[in-house]
């Protein structure tokens, strides 16, 4: 089965995600939460998506219970506001196992990941590195970077992000100490404006007040430093790394 793929960012993509009927196809291997591959059907048009119901989230000691799906959506909104197209469209929606995050499925070759792609896409991964600082991503594994058939690299699995405490754990440390490219600084500056307006308002329903403020603080810090940070904690890597 190979449902036709809607263009990323297209109206068709949102219609399918927002209004498509959800059919569970199976649980994803290697997922730490209950993460399902689903088929969406909207008036005969079909596509695949990843569905992470809130009630399938594995409890964690450091994140409030049942909030990972909101963090996935918040990551998508920040990615959109930056204009970097890192996170595939992700929405919060009711599904067969209750409310959860629903994200467009990215067709990709699972043999590829950050460590095999980084030489080909250094500018893309610079943006990943900055994005991860802003959202305080605690789990940027190499395998959370997927290249699609159009050579666009997407980031997935942002459920453990946006904590107030510094938790940046990532495999992308190649650029530490480098100046941030001017175009990326501009995008980060624009993100600051959006945080003061529409994006800030959208995040209020997805994150706590303190977490939302922490996004602004990390962004201000990056804009002041103007360099890619060095590791911020003693063990700055995810486990496992791929």
Ligand X SMILES: Nc1ncnc2c1ncn2[C@@H]1O[C@H](COP(=O)(O)OP(=O)(O)O)[C@@H](O)[C@H]1O
State the residues that interact with ligand X by CB under 6 A. 28, 30-33, 35, 50, 52, 88, 103, 105-106, 143, 146, 156-157, 159
Q: Which stretch binds Mg ion (CB under 5 A): 151-159, 174-182, 191-199, 208-216?
A: 151-159
Alpha-carbon distances of 212 from 17, 51, 92, 153, 231, rounded to whole Å: 26, 25, 18, 27, 22
Separation between Cα atoms, residue 96 and residue 115, nearest integer Å = 36
Nearer to ligand X, 8 or 236 (CB): 8
Instruction: State which H helix or E strand residue 126 sits in.
Output: helix 122-135
Q: Which stretch binds Mg ion (CB under 5 A): 106-114, 122-130, 149-157, 230-238?
A: 149-157
30 binds, among Mg ion, ligand X, none (CB under 5 to 8 A by kind): ligand X
**C-beta of 221: minimal distance to ligand X in Å?**
27
20 binds, among ligand X, Mg ion, none (CB under 5 to 8 A by kind): none
Nearer to ligand X, 159 or 229 (CB): 159
**C-beta of 179: minimal distance to ligand X in Å?**
32
Q: Using CB atoms within 10 A of its CB, is residue 146 exposed (0-12), middle (13-18) or buried (19+)?
A: buried
Nearer to ligand X, 35 or 170 (CB): 35
46, 157, 184, 211: which one binds Mg ion (CB under 5 A): 157
227: tokens are 């360099």
Instruction: State which H helix or E strand residue 102 sits in.
Output: strand 98-104
Q: In 84-111, which positions are buried (b, 16+ CB within 10 angstroms) versus exposed (e)? A: bbbbbbbbbbebebeebbbbbbbebeee
Q: Interface residues with Mg ion (CB under 5 A)?
A: 157
């Amino acid at each position: 089965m190979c449902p036709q793929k809607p263009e990323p960012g297209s109206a068709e993509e949102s219609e399918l995600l927002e209004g498509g009927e959800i059919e569970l196809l199976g649980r994803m291997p290697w997922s730490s939460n209950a993460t399902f591959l689903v088929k969406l059907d909207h008036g005969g048009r079909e596509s695949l998506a990843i569905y992470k119901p809130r009630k399938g989230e594995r409890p964690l000691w450091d994140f409030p219970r049942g909030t990972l799906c909101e963090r996935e959506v918040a990551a998508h909104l920040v990615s959109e506001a930056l204009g970097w197209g890192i996170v595939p469209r992700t929405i919060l929606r009711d599904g067969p196992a209750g409310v959860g995050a629903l994200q467009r499925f990215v067709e990709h070759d699972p043999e590829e990941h950050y460590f095999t792609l980084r030489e080909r896409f250094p500018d893309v991964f610079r943006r990943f590195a900055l994005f991860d600082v802003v959202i305080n991503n605690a789990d940027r594994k190499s395998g959370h970077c997927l290249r699609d058939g159009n050579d666009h690299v997407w980031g997935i699995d942002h459920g453990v992000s946006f904590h107030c405490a510094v938790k940046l754990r990532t495999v992308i440390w190649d650029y530490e100490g480098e100046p941030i490219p001017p175009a990326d600084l501009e995008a980060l500056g624009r993100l600051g404006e959006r945080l003061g307006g529409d994006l800030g308002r959208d995040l209020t329903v997805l994150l706590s007040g303190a977490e939302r403020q922490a996004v602004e603080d990390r962004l201000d810090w990056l804009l002041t430093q103007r360099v890619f940070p060095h590791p911020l904690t003693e063990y700055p890597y995810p486990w496992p790394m791929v």
